[in-house]
Amino acid sequence: TQLLEQSPQFLSIQEGENLTVYCNSSSVFSSLQWYRQEPGEGPVLLVTVVTGGEVKKLKRLTFQFGDARKDSSLHITAAQPGDTGLYLCAGKGGGADGLTFGKGTHLIIQP
């Protein structure tokens, strides 16, 4: 069974600060996706990383896939209250058709 561990589970910081969220596994994934989910809504895809060592940027968000494709990180620069939400990493691979999700990081950005 493939497992994804996300840390931290909860994070509350002030507007303007930087933060990093981690997603780790002992399994290799063919790709890894990051989603943002707001209360009462479905997850919305932010990015997909496929190649080991790959770095992708989405405005103030920087995503990195580990060289061994077992881990990933999400770094947010100058966080804003609009960044508040549940951030989920999800891996695809091992022959599974669906996604294996981490438990998520609940992020609160205080003005």
Partner 1 sequence: DAMVIQNPRYQVTQFGKPVTLSCSQTLNHNVMYWYQQKSSQAPKLLFHYYDKDFNNEADTPDNFQSRRPNTSFCFLDIRSPGLGDAAMYLCATSRESGTNTDTQYFGPGTRLTVL
Q: Dump the DSSP string for 21-72.
A: EEEE-SS--SEEEEEEE-TTS--EEEEEE-STT-EEEETTEEEEE-TTSSEE
Nearer to partner 1, 17 or 38 (CB): 38
Question: How would you classify the pairing of strands 19-24 and 105-110?
Answer: unpaired
CB of 89 to partner 1, least distance (A): 9
Closer to partner 1 at the Cβ: 82 or 98?
98
d(CA 51, CA 43): 23
Write out the binding residues for partner 1, residues 30-69 only, by CB under 8 A: 30-31, 33, 35, 40-45, 48, 50
| Residue among 51 and 77 whose Cβ is closer to partner 1 | 51
Binding site residues, partner 1, CB under 8 A: 4, 30-31, 33, 35, 40-45, 48, 50, 88, 92-93, 96-99, 101-104
